[in-house]
Amino acid sequence: MTMLDRMRRHKNWLKWSLILVCLAFVVFYIPDFLRGTGADAASGEMVARVEGQDISAGEFRRMYQAQVQAYRSAYGGQMNDQLLKQLGIEQQILQQMVDERASLAEADRLNIRVSDEEVRQRIFSIPAFQENGQFIGEQRYAQLLRAQRPAMTPADFEENVRRTLTVEKLRASLTDWISVPDKEIEQEYRRRNDKVKLALVSVAAETFRAQVTASDADITAHFNAHKADFKMPEKRKIRYLLIDVDALRAKTVVPAVDIERAYNNSIEQYSTPEQIRASHILLKTEGKDDAAVRAKAEELLKQVKSGADFAELAKKNSEDEASAKNGGDLDYFGRGRMIPEFEQVAFALQPGQVSDLVKTSYGYHIIKLVDKKPGTAKTLAEVRQQISDQLASERAQAQAADLAQNLAKDISKPADLDKVAKARGMTVQESGFFARDEPTAALGTSPEAASRVFQMKQGEVEGPVQTSRGVAFMTLIGKQDPYVPQLTEVKDRVRDEVIKQKARELSRQKAMELAVKLKNAPDFEKTAKAAGVEAKTTELITRESPLPDLGVAPAVEDAAFKLPVGSTSDPIATDNGTVVIKVIEKQEVTPSDLANAKDKFRDELLADRRNRFFSAYMVKAKQKMKIEVNRETLQRVVS
């Protein structure tokens, strides 16, 4: 019996206050609820271990599948397996799970506990488990959990809620002391919301490169003055045994029956569901007299039915701020994106039709259907090669992981690399010297593998190590300490830097000439054009906004917000050249703006500071914890 079997006994003390939404929304936006026990998983292998607490392959698979399903529900066929891997979803999920376990371990160390009643209170507050202000009952509660993909049991769900509350309590105990003074709130709000409109001319250094040269004397002088800038980093050399995934993939033949099965099992991945485009007028009922709101909605509906312009009525009357300014337009959306009552009516309409009043938890809606796009699906023939490549890649990765696990039993010292390679018909290879951030033939671009190389000692063997080329076993055979090189080793780098500096100087000189003309010019744009450069004008922009031809330029931004309206700057050096700006307009935060936004902004700023403090605290806490990750098991689970 779970704690929720006793819920009926506690209904009198529940506080029902949240809006009913579908469970899918809860699952998607509160991923902590998805942390299951992995009871339905086929494997109990360890993916990671934090302070002795395992994250099993089954548990990780459950979380991974749930998150992938959430992505696919949101993005449809655009979110395929290849894109998921490119985004590194599995690494993100693993990091989330490791961080959660670390937080739970720290909470346990500090003796932070969550009671059964606290768990019940949190579950009762979830809108998905409410109907007409009442708990939906144990049976429907369990049904909703079973309907999730992957399915969940009440015990799983309740344990996940307990974990979430435990982490919240830990966070609160560590950060509740943090506050933000009013002065800082005002300063930061103004920094983020003051705006400026600029005209600017940018003199790019690149345009002067062809006009400059670097003599040997220039190169020697620059090198002697800046030797530290050209210091060579530590480099290392390894011998390695590589399980090449590309080679395995090339030998992998995927049977047609497997391709067809994969297609049928993931048909939604190759389908675009039906979509509609609708507009609506919303009159909210929260805190208002329902009858009065309905009467106003009925009057608007009469106007619409009589031929009034729907978009104009929406702009003037709709209380959905996001869509009202666009005439009520909600753009295209598929099923599952809107609240059920709204969606049911909207999808039943035909283009051009207007609904009767639709009542939802938000209020009264008038819906107009603008367009319908039927669902489409790619045929097996269209995606056969894509699926074949994907399956071949997955199987090659799995083969590499299995082989690596088998080889690991026989490799403990450098000499074992040759012994295993000979027995398996493989080859041990040797890299050249490489720096930590340099791609190599051995490792490809693999920061994690490179990091392990630079932590090794001679005589040790690292592996299996996941690299961009496959799985490797490595031993260190050479080290090259950091050193200041001779000029001959870095002459090309020095020459390029000398040319860049000379080009920047010509850019600065040109900008100085322009600044003299522009400072007193009645027309900034015309004067710039007459001088052979183009002036560009921004909209009203906040700090950290990208500027034309420059991107984000802190030096320009700093000058822009200090200069008075109408003034022109001196030349401002940037990474790519020199800029001259004129301040056309400023829009500063008013006391009224600040007063209206202060409370909400305080909450945002406070949450940000507490989150940053908690993250920094946990970074240090994790340094004292024993955290292990089994990359091979992780790879097999994902494959």
User: Residue 168 pLDDT > 90, yes or no?
Assistant: yes
User: Quick one: pLDDT at residue 28?
Assistant: 31
What is the reported pLDDT for 376? 85
Q: 75 pLDDT band (50/70/90 cuts)? A: low
What pLDDT score was predicted for residue 135? 79
* Architecture category of domain 195-231+487-587 in CATH: Roll (3.10)
Which three-class secondary structure string do you get for 383-401? Answer: HHHHHHHHHHHHHHHHHHH
Residues 38 and 62 sit within 8 Å (Cβ to Cβ): yes
Residue 296: its pLDDT value, please?
Answer: 94
pLDDT digits (tens, 9 = 90+) for 423-432: 999 999 999 9
Q: Which residue in 529, 533, 539, 528 sits closest to 568, CA to CA?
A: 528
Question: What confidence tier does 405 reach under pLDDT thresholds 50, 70, 90?
Answer: confident
Among 2-16, 230-244, 286-300, 511-525, the range scoring the smallest mean pLDDT is 2-16
137: left (phi over 0), alpha (psi -120 to 50) or beta: left
pLDDT in tens, 20-46: 223 333 333 333 333 333 333 334 688
- Mean pLDDT across 552-577: 94
pLDDT digits (tens, 9 = 90+) for 93-114: 888 999 999 999 999 999 999 9
- How confident is the model over 212-237, as a mean pLDDT? 94
pLDDT value, residue 44: 63
pLDDT tens-digit profile of 518-539? 998 999 999 999 999 999 999 9
Q: How far apart are CA 567 and CA 582, in angstroms?
A: 6
pLDDT at 520: 85
Q: Is residue 84 over pLDDT 50? A: yes
Q: What is the pLDDT of residues 591-623, one digit of tens each?
A: 999 999 999 999 999 999 999 999 999 999 998
Sequence-distant (6+) residues with CB within 8 A of 49 are 55, 626, 627, 628
Res 270 pLDDT > 90: no
- 148 vs 395 pLDDT, higher one: 395
Q: For residue 437, name the pLDDT band (cuts at 50, 70, 90).
A: confident
Q: Where exactly are the structural domains of the chain?
A: 3-177+622-638, 195-231+487-587, 235-263+381-480, 274-374
Query: Which tokens sit at 26?
Result: 């809860």
> Is there a common fold for 3-177+622-638 and 195-231+487-587?
no
What 3-state class would DSSP assign to 298?
helix
In the predicted model, is pLDDT for residue 319 greater than 60? yes
Q: At what angle do helices 89-109 and 591-623 cross, to 10 degrees?
A: 80
Q: Residues 498, 491: contact at Cβ < 8 Å?
A: no
Is 80 exceeded by the pLDDT of residue 151?
no
Over 50: is that where the pLDDT of 373 sits? Answer: yes
> Which range (50-64, 545-559, 561-575, 612-626) has the least confidence?
50-64
**Confidence at 150, pLDDT banded by 50, 70, 90:** low
Tell me the residue ranges of DSSP E strands in 139-217: 195-204
Task: Give the lowest-confidence range in 54-63, 88-97, 468-477, 627-636.
Answer: 627-636
Higher pLDDT, 234 or 398: 234
pLDDT at 102: 94
Give the residue-averaged pLDDT of 77-87. 62
pLDDT(237) > 50: yes
Task: Name beta bridge partners: 46.
Answer: 56
Q: Which CATH number among 1.10.260, 1.10.4030, 1.10.10, 1.10.540 corresponds to the domain 3-177+622-638?
A: 1.10.4030
How is residue 332 annotated by DSSP? E
Tens of pLDDT, residues 240-268: 999 998 899 999 999 999 999 988 887 87
pLDDT, position 60:
86
The candidate with the shortest Cα–Cα distance to 464, out of 452, 480, 481, 476, is 452
Q: Which H or E run includes 365?
A: strand 363-373
Q: For the structural domain made of 274-374, what CATH number should be given?
A: 3.10.50.40
pLDDT for 206 beyond 90: yes
Query: What's the pLDDT score for residue 251?
Result: 92
pLDDT classification of 76: cutoffs 50, 70, 90 = low
Given 1.10.150, 3.30.70, 3.10.50, 3.20.14, which CATH number is that of 235-263+381-480?
3.10.50
Closest by alpha carbon to 164, among 128, 135, 123? 123
| Amino acid letter, 632 | E
Residue 496's pLDDT is: 95
pTM of the model: 0.59
Residue 637 pLDDT exceeds 90: no
pLDDT-above-90 percentage for the chain: 59
- Residue 19 has a pLDDT of 23
Instruction: Quote the mean pLDDT of the chain.
Output: 85
The tokens for 351 are 């283009």
